[in-house]
Amino acid sequence: MKQALVTGAAGFLGSHLCDKLLAEGMSVVGMDNLITGSMSNIAHLETNPNFSFINHDVCEHIDIKGDLDYILHFASPASPIDYLKIPIQTLKVGALGTHNALGLARAKNARILVASTSEIYGDPLVHPQTEDYFGNVNTIGPRGVYDEAKRYLESITMAYHRYHGVDTRIIRIFNTYGPRMRLNDGRVIPAFMGQALRGEDLTVFGDGSQTRSFCFVEDEIEGIYRLLMSDYHLPVNIGNPDEITILDFAQEIIALTGTDQKIVFKELPKNDPLQRKPDITKAKEILGWEPKVGRAEGMRHTYDYFKSFSPEELNKMEHRDFTTFKN
């Protein structure tokens, strides 16, 4: 039985990735320090004999006993609120965490897939974004800690591939949504869902003309798995190119939830990208992958997930407490 290590296993994408690898017949070791992840995301795996969990910060040396075939490095804060509150942790996991994961891959002769992001394109001047676009990033802006952490992740991964011959894969993940998202993580879908379910007006930043392209988690995970199993070592965009303005998306949420809230407008955050849409030509040609779940269907699944929250959970406005984690 092949064995895989998933860092960030208790997070949104990491937990779904554990499910996928187990379903494909692998033994999975999940690793997370729970700074943004939650054990509730992997509670259903506790009794699975092929799953084990290690509470560990990947910025420290990683020690895994026995053979290891695959490493999927998904440990990182991933929402603007997270990386504005814990900027140094965000940079460290992209630098030290990736270095440790690559070192482990080299020692174990394992294939490693690292999770990069569409944020490496910054506020793009090319639309849609292809993998050969170098990006437009403000390195010293408040969001730069995440963008640059992921750009460094890509650079050191390619260095390990070229210099040490490590078998590497790089995925650039675009906006992904679905069950197990954190309600108050600051991203637009859980923000809109929480506001709608609490009967609050929906908050749109700027005039709402900025665009996003949302990919349902089931599709995203399939793309990740196909890239892991491919023989392609350069970055690949995985996302849904079905683009929508945030204002139109807010109206879709109101229609979905059957509520009658108003839309209120607030100032656009600094360096917030004005457009985001993946060019997925490489994913189609190399992986035979494209998204199958439309936004209407995916949002229904996501709405059902958030509807299951208790009133206490829905009304808990306090974000994660990061004071117990060292920078």
Nearest to 311 by CA among 183, 191, 204: 183
Buried/exposed 13-37: b ≥16 CB within 10 Å, e otherwise: bbbbbbbbbbeeebbbbbbbbebbb
**pLDDT value at position 319?**
63
Under 8 Å between Cβ of 80 and 187: yes
pLDDT at 259: 82
pTM: 0.95
Of all residues in the chain, the percent with pLDDT exceeding 90 is 84
pLDDT at 136: 93
Rounded distance, CA 117 to CA 83, Å?
14
pLDDT tens digit sequence for 198-251: 999 999 999 999 999 999 999 999 999 999 999 999 999 999 999 999 999 999
For residues 195 and 201, is the Cβ–Cβ distance under 8 A? Answer: yes
**Domains delineated in the chain:** 3-176+216-238 (3.40.50.720)
pLDDT of residue 230: 98
Nearest CA-CA partner of 144 in 37, 272, 35, 36: 272
The pLDDT of residue 174 is 97
pLDDT at 177: 97
> H helices of the chain, where?
12-23, 80-85, 87-92, 98-108, 144-164, 188-197, 217-228, 246-257, 281-282, 295-307, 311-314
SS3 3: strand
Q: What is the pLDDT of residues 64-81, one digit of tens each?
A: 999 999 999 999 999 888
Please tell me the predicted confidence (pLDDT) of residue 81: 87
- Residue 222: its pLDDT value, please? 98
Residues of the chain with pLDDT below 70 are 271, 317-319, 325-327
Candidates 146, 160, 177, 225; catalytic one: 146
Q: Does residue 177 have an active-site annotation?
A: no
